[in-house]
Structure 1
Amino acid sequence: MENFIDYILQFGHLNKQQVALITSKAKEVSFQKDAYFSEAGKIPKQVGFVIEGVFRGCYYNNLGDEITRCFISENSLMSDYINFEANTASSEYIQACTDSKIIVFSKESWEELSQTIVGWDTMKNKMVQLCMYQKSRSNPVISQDATTRYLEFMDNHPTLINRIPLNYIASYLGITQQSLSRIRKNIS
């Protein structure tokens, strides 16, 4: 919980009572590898903060291929926030790539914080903007060759390389797992 409070305090000031209220509304939950935090076709009902582990945002394209859009690791907010706020069904999945621990807020608890804590909406908006930015900026540039994409991935996500399955990295890079294996072999 301490990591989450430190994370929030980057975006504004809270007194002890406000921190206690936030802590009382949060619940720590464990996720097994491959479990879903959020699923396509369902309305997202929670906001999470990753304490330990890695998640991925993914969807299926019109050919039925699974596409990994982003990775979400420790000390990051996690939510399909647009659908969470609009109370509409998601078109993407958020899935655990590793066994993970997260802090979860239900929709009711998240909204109660907005109604109770002065300035929470401003802090929340900054957290959500960072979350959305991290999800959008992490997409590889498909016009680059596959080796360049992989090298960039290694630079941008050095801690993920040995923590998540290669098929997820290949999906994220827009290449086959065999191509990724070849690239890894050639650069090592």
Structure 2
Amino acid sequence: MKTLIEYLLQFGNLNPQQIDLIAKKATELNLQKDEYFSEAGKISRQVGFVIDGITRVCYYNNKGEEVTKYFIEENNLVVDFESFDNEICSSAYVQAVTDCRLLVFSKTDWQELLDTIVGWDTIVHKIISKALMQKVARRSPLVTEDATERYLKFLEIYPNVVNRVPLSYVSSYLGITQSSLSRIRKNIR
């Protein structure tokens, strides 16, 4: 809980009563490796905070190939906000890449925090804005750089991920084959 509160305090102020309410609304959820936090075709019903582990957001393209959009590691919120906020079916999966421990808020509890804590919506907005900027910054090099540069950028962006996730997910994220990724890794050692 301490890490969640420290995370939230980066985006705004909370008094002890507000912190206590947040703590009361959070429940712990353990996901086993490969389990889904949310699924495409279903409405996202919870917001999570990753305490331990790595999740990924992925989808299937029109060829039926699985594509990893990005990874979410410790000390970050995990939610499909578009699906969660608008009560629409998600177009992506959020999957545990490792065994994960999360603090989770149901839709009802999240709404209660919005209704009760003055400034909660501002904190949430700042978190979403930061996440969107990170997403753009992480995806931009994938369009303009060659495979080796993309991999080196991946190592910079996700220094704690590469040795904890299957290389098939990394190659999918980079938009290259696993054999290409293996060659790149061999050449930069």
Give percent identity, aligned residues only: 55
Alignment match, 1:109: 109
CA distance in 1, matches of 2:186, 2:180: 10
| CA displacement 1:164-188 (0-9 Å, x = unmatched) | 1100000000011111111111111
User: Deviation of residue 133 (structure 1)?
Assistant: 2.8
CA distance in 2, matches of 1:118, 1:15: 10
| CA displacement 1:38-89 (0-9 Å, x = unmatched) | 1000000000111111111111111111111111001111110011100000
CA distance in 2, matches of 1:134, 1:58: 17
- AA aligned to 1:72 is I
CA distance in 1, matches of 2:76, 2:4: 9
Alignment match, 1:39: 39
> 3-state DSSP class of the match of 1:138?
helix
Alignment match, 2:179: 178
User: Deviation of residue 135 (structure 1)?
Assistant: 3.1
> 3-state DSSP class of the match of 1:142?
helix
- AA aligned to 2:47 is V
User: Deviation of residue 137 (structure 1)?
Assistant: 2.8
Matches within 5 A, 1:82-161: 82-139=82-139, 140-161=141-162
| CA displacement 1:129-179 (0-9 Å, x = unmatched) | 223333333224233221111111112211111111100000000011111
Relative to structure 2, which stretch is displaced further, 129-138 or 26-35? Answer: 129-138
| CA displacement 1:81-110 (0-9 Å, x = unmatched) | 011100000000011111111110000000
- Give unmatched runs, 5+ long, in structure 1: none
- AA aligned to 2:28 is E
> 3-state DSSP class of the match of 1:50?
strand
Alignment match, 1:168: 169
Q: What TM-score comes out, normalization by structure 2 length?
A: 0.96
- AA aligned to 1:157 is Y
User: Deviation of residue 118 (structure 1)?
Assistant: 1.2
Alignment match, 2:19: 19
Task: Give aligned pairs, total.
Answer: 188
- Give unmatched runs, 5+ long, in structure 2: none
> 3-state DSSP class of the match of 1:141?
helix
User: Deviation of residue 19 (structure 1)?
Assistant: 0.6
Divergent runs of 4+, >4 A? none
User: Is the CA contact (8 Å cut-off) linking 1:69 and 1:135 kept in structure 2?
Assistant: no
